[in-house]
Structures are given as C-alpha cells and as structure tokens.
Amino acid sequence: ANFSEQVVESFPADISTGIYYGWACVGNGDVHKMVLSVGWNPFYKNIKKSVETHIIHTFKDDFYGEILSIVIIGYIRSEKNFSSSEALISAIQEDIEEAKRQLDLPEHLKLKEDNFFHLPEGKPVNH
C-alpha cells in the first residue's frame, strides 16, 4: 500500500530513510502487523521519495481509496541498494520476520488496541 505524494510530503522531514515496523489498519478493519519502507528505493532508481506499507496479512479484496492508518513503532535498518531482485526479496522477507518478532513483544502488542485505529463513524477524515 503506497501513500500518495501529498501524504509523503507531509511526513516529518527529519524521518530517516529505511525500514520500519508497526501496526496498520485499512478503514475500520482489523489492525495488522506491517513493515514500512521510507525512502528512494535505490534498486528501482526512484526519483521521488516514497512511503510504502507492506501489511502482513492477505486481504480478500483490493482496498484502493480506503483510509490507511499506521503507527510506526520501531526501526529495522537503513535503506540500501541490492545487486539483484532475489537479494531484495530476501531482505524484505528478513524485515518481515524481524517485524513479526518485535511486534509480538508485550510493549508493542498493546499499541495494536490503541483508539487511534478506530475511526468515528460518519465523521469526515482529513486525507
């Protein structure tokens, strides 16, 4: 799930590029573990900074146009380039496993229940 350029530009300017972990919620759905990439994706030679969320869950349907709420809990590693797509995929799999381990810690699990994830019904939300 990629955030729009407008959302990326509103991120704090001093947030370090790299890989983070935390919690994500689509609309008023369940809260799931996630890994977040903030940066330039050097392997793909992006010219614009991006923020990409990998929700560790399999969804039945697309959720284009839904509100994606995230809470960033911790930092895994800095952004780096890879020699091959296989090396990139392997690193992503390691990042996912690290996120799962971290988010299973009691101090991180409790944040899954935060009221932040429960949008008030019928209220407009700023995008």
Output 93-101 pairs: Cβ under 8 A, ≥24 positions apart: 95/19, 95/21, 95/35, 96/35, 96/54, 96/56, 98/21, 99/21, 99/33, 99/34, 99/35, 99/56, 100/33, 100/56
Assess whether 79 carries a catalytic annotation.
Answer: no
- Residue 102: what residue type? Q
Give the active site residue among 5, 52, 94, 98.
52
Q: What residues act catalytically?
A: 52
